[in-house]
Amino acid sequence: MDTRLLLKVLGRRRELAARDGWSPSQVRTYQARRLAALRDHSQLRSRFYREFHRGLTRAPLAELPILTKAVLMDRFDDLITRGDLRLADARAHLAAEAGAQRLMGRYYVAATAGTTGEPGIFVWDVEEWAEVLASYSRAYGWAGASVRLTGRTRMAVVSSTVPSHQSALVGASVDSRFVPTLRIDSGDPLEDVVRRLNHFRPDVLVGYASMLGLLAGEGACTCSRGPCSARRRC
């Protein structure tokens, strides 16, 4: 993770943490305000949404038409709110397996696996990606394993290592001297996964719930200094 992104993530995480004590009423008020701002932005900047939600700008969410992944990808260039970005650019970036390198120096790009048809492609600018990482980082803080500049948090991620997958992009983005990160493919043999975790001895273990269950069943991850020293699982 480059230092500027790390500072953005830590700053955003502090802002998010300040909301942990909000009342349900405060949360609902904030959600309504942010939703209204999001809908206004889409109407202003997206040609697709001006058509798709015509006459529905203040309609309840339940009354809005359903946006399918097929339509999203078919109308990608009209849907996005950034005039300098095109679907062809995003596809070329993914094909190059650029990982955490930013498209045009501005955008992080990830795709779904496409198991139900055409893969969905999703793009974030630096501020938006910092928000994503900060939201994930909150869970580590709740578990008592916060990332900080004064120490190192060793993280292991057992998920997809396909560079275009969001979980791989997250792992590549956070890997740094502050968060040394081991990425393991969830499709690897379980004994190999356990062996690599035992060797790395992470402070935080991140993975799919199904994989974490298998690892727990193998005794690979404990909350003490057991075979794998991961103190927190997410």
pLDDT in tens, 153-172: 888 999 888 889 998 898 88
The set of long-range contacts for 141-149, using a CB threshold of 8 Å and a minimum separation of 24, is 141/13, 141/17, 143/204, 143/232, 143/233, 143/234, 144/231, 144/232, 145/203, 145/204, 145/231, 145/232, 147/9, 147/10, 147/174, 147/178, 147/179, 148/10, 148/178, 149/6, 149/10, 149/178
Greater pLDDT, 152 or 96: 96
SS3 content of the chain, % helix, strand, coil (to 5): 45, 10, 40
Q: What is the pLDDT of residues 70-82, one digit of tens each?
A: 999 999 999 999 9
Greater pLDDT, 145 or 91: 91
Q: What is the overall mean pLDDT for the chain?
A: 87
Residue 204 has pLDDT above 70, yes or no: yes
CA distance 69 to 58: 23
pLDDT confidence bin for 219, thresholds 50/70/90: low
Residue 234 has pLDDT above 70, yes or no: no
Which of 15-29, 51-65, 111-125, 212-226 is least confident? 212-226
Please report the pLDDT score of residue 155 as a whole number: 87
Q: Pick the most confident of 26-40, 113-127, 130-144, 197-211.
A: 26-40
Please report the pLDDT score of residue 224 as a whole number: 36
For 59-71, what is the mean pLDDT? 95
Kindly provide the residue ranges of all beta strands, DSSP E only, lying in the chain, ordered along the sequence. 107-111, 121-125, 155-159, 181-185, 204-207, 232-233
Please report the pLDDT score of residue 217 as a whole number: 79
Residue 222 has pLDDT above 50, yes or no: no
Please report the pLDDT score of residue 47 as a whole number: 96
Beta-strand relationship, 204-207 and 232-233: parallel
CA distance 226 to 197: 11
Question: Would you give the distance in Å from CA 233 to the centre of its chain?
Answer: 17
Residue 44 has pLDDT above 50, yes or no: yes
Residue 63 has pLDDT above 90, yes or no: yes
| Percent of the chain topping pLDDT 90 | 54
Please report the pLDDT score of residue 220 as a whole number: 57
Residue 221 has pLDDT above 60, yes or no: no
Greater pLDDT, 209 or 66: 66
The structure tokens listed for 140 are 């580590």
**Domains annotated on the chain, with CATH:** 128-233 (3.40.50)
C-beta of residue 168 within 8 angstroms of C-beta of residue 162:
yes
Please report the pLDDT score of residue 30 as a whole number: 97
